[in-house]
Structure 1
Amino acid sequence: MPRSIWKGAISFGLVTIPVKLFSATEEKDVSFRQVHPEDGGRIKYKRVCEKCGKEIPFAEIAKGYELPDGRVVILDAEDMASLPLPTMKQVEVVQFVAEDDIDPTYFAKTYFLEAEGPGVKPYVLLRDALLKTNRCALVKVAIRSREALALVRPKGGILLMHTMLWPDELRDGGFVAPPSDITVSDGEIAMAQNFIDALAGDFDPGAYADSYREAVETLVESKLEGAELPAEEEEPQEAEVVDLVAALRASVEAAKKRRADAEQQTDSTAGKAV
C-alpha cells in the first residue's frame, strides 16, 4: 500500500471528515541517466554556494525569497511550517459545482481521499450526497507548501481530489487561433463528421499502450544482446493535399477498414480462447 502524502480534514459545513491523501497516478516514462559515454560513469551534480564555494548538503539548504531590490529573505523549515494558512491541514469546501463547469485545462494532479477513523460515515455521507445532487465540491487545500483550488468528486465508491491551477497560471492561447478569414464549406464539414463517426466509440484506456516506452525497451534489449534492430521501411512521402473532401473521404474508408480488421482480430482471438 502506498504511503499517504498528506493528512488533514475536509470541512463539510459543521461536519469534519479526517482524511489521508494518496497520489492516484504514477508516471511510467522511460528513465535515462546522464553518463560519461567512455566508461558509463554517472554524471553527478553538486550543490555549491556561489559565495563561499562550499558544497552544501541538501538538509542544510533553506528557501530564499528575493525581493525586487535584490535583497533575499531566508525562510527555513520552521518558518514554512508556521505559515498562517488554515488550508495546511483543513480542506475547506468553498462551493458545490457541476463537473462540466470546470475546464479540464485547470486540472493538475489526481489524488485518492481515504477516511480515517470516525470520518468514515461522514465520508460516505459526502460521497452519496454528491452523487445524488450530481455535484462536485470545490475546495481549497495546501499540499507541499502550495495552496491550490481542487475538485472533490465521487467515483467508484471513493472520493477523488483533483488539484487545479490558478487562473493566472493558464496561458492565453489566442495567439494560436487561425485567421478569422479562413473558412470551410458545408461539404468539408460533413466529410469531417463522417470521419469522426467512423472512429467514434467508448473510451477504453486499456486498448492503448506507450509505443515510445516499448520501443526504447526493445532497443535496450537489442543492445544487450548485440543484435541489430530491424530497419523500418520508409513511409512514402505524400503530396500536399488540396482537396480536403477527397482526403477525408479516403480517411473515412481507411478508418472503416481498420475498425473492421480490429473487430475481426478480436473475434478470432475470442474464438481461440473458447
Structure 2
Amino acid sequence: MDRSPPARAVWTGSIVFGLVSVPCRLYLATAERAVRLREIHKADSSPIRHKRVCEAEGREVPTEDVGRGYELSDGRLVPLTTEDLDHLPLPTRHQLQVLGFVPVGDVDPISYSKAYYVGPANAAAEKPYTLLVTALARSDALAVCRVTIRTRERLAVLRPSHGVLVVQQLLWPDEVRDPGDLAPVAPVTEREMELAELLMREMVGVDQSELHDQYREALEQLVDAKVAGGQIEDPPQPEPVVDLMAALEESVRAARRG
C-alpha cells in the first residue's frame, strides 16, 4: 500500500442520508503506476507529438484557446464554459445522496470503479461521520448513493475501510455487459470438486503487501537487451491440462510442500 497521504480534495460537499447531513471532502484513494510508452515514428524513432487543430481554420490552437462544447444531433456544437457546468441544475454536484442501504453481497464487484477516501470537512462533521462509518461496519452494509464528480454523475457505494469511509464509484447497470453463453457446460465429478476445494484450503491467504507490478521490471529487461543488441527468452508457459485429477493431486502436494 502506498503510504503517501491523499493530495488535495477533488470534491467538496455533504453526505446526505435522511435528515442527516455530513460535510465532507473526497480524496483520490488510488494512484496507478502505469508504464507509459511514447509514440514514435517507425522510420527514425523520433517522438510523435499531437496537435490541436481547428477544423475551420486548419491551424494549431493554443491550449488556452481550447474550450468544450455539446454536439447536437444535427452536428452543431453548443459552447459550454466552466461557469456553465458549475451551474448545472443537479443536486448531486455537491451532495452525496444516500438512496438506501444494502448487504455487501448485493453489489456485484464487476460494477466497482474508481475509489475515493472521504474525510470530514470540519469539526462539526466528525461525530456524524464516525456514527456512519461505525454503523456501516457493524451492519456489514453498503450505502448506495448518487454523486457527481467533475463532469459525470455516478452511482456509488459508501463503505467502511480501516476506520474511514470510502466512496466506490459503480458502473451504471447499462454499462455492464452480459456474459452471454461464455459459461461452459462440462460436468465435473464429486472427487474433482473435493480436490479443488482441498487445493483452495491449502492455498488460503495472500499477503498483498508483498506483491508488485512486474511489468516495469520485464520492460526494463527488454530495453536493456535491445540496447545491448541481444534478446531475452520468453518465460515458460503452463502446459495444457490433460488429466485434471492428476493435475489437482499434484497441485495439492505442491501447495503443502510450499
TM-score, L = length of structure 2:
0.85
Local SS of the residue matching 1:34? coil
User: Where do residues 64-75 of structure 1 align in structure 2 (5 Å cutoff)?
Assistant: 64-75=69-80
Partner of 2:182: 176
Contact 2:27-2:118 at 8 Å conserved across structures: yes
Partner of 1:198: 202
Local SS of the residue matching 1:176? coil
Q: Give distance in 1, aligned partners of 2:198 and 2:242.
A: 19
Structure 2 portions without partners, runs of 5+: none
User: Where do residues 126-145 of structure 1 align in structure 2 (5 Å cutoff)?
Assistant: 126-145=132-151
Local SS of the residue matching 1:56? coil
User: Where do residues 70-85 of structure 1 align in structure 2 (5 Å cutoff)?
Assistant: 70-85=75-90
Contact 2:17-2:99 at 8 Å conserved across structures: no
Q: Give distance in 2, aligned partners of 1:64 and 1:106.
A: 29
Q: Give distance in 1, aligned partners of 2:9 and 2:101.
A: 26
Partner of 1:96: 101
Partner of 1:255: 255
Is residue 2:159 matched to residue 1:153? yes
Shift of residue 232, structure 1, vs aligned partner: 4.2
Local SS of the residue matching 1:191? helix
Find the partner of 1:25 among 24, 30, 35. 30
Amino acid at match of 2:101: F
Deviations for 1:158-206, whole angstroms, at most 9, x for unmatched residues?
111101110000001123222x4x212222222222322221x223211
RMSD: 2.6
TM-score, L = length of structure 1:
0.81
Q: Give distance in 1, aligned partners of 2:150 and 2:234.
A: 49
Higher helix share: 1
Find the partner of 1:114 among 100, 116, 119. 119
Shift of residue 35, structure 1, vs aligned partner: 3.5
Q: Give distance in 2, aligned partners of 1:228 and 1:100.
A: 51
Is residue 2:169 matched to residue 1:163? yes
Amino acid at match of 2:200: I
Partner of 1:246: 246
Shift of residue 219, structure 1, vs aligned partner: 4.3
Q: Give distance in 1, aligned partners of 2:238 and 2:97.
A: 57
Local SS of the residue matching 1:189? helix
Deviations for 1:15-64, whole angstroms, at most 9, x for unmatched residues?
22111111010111212222456776432100112232122233433333
Structure 1 portions without partners, runs of 5+: 260-274
Percent of pairs identical after alignment?
42
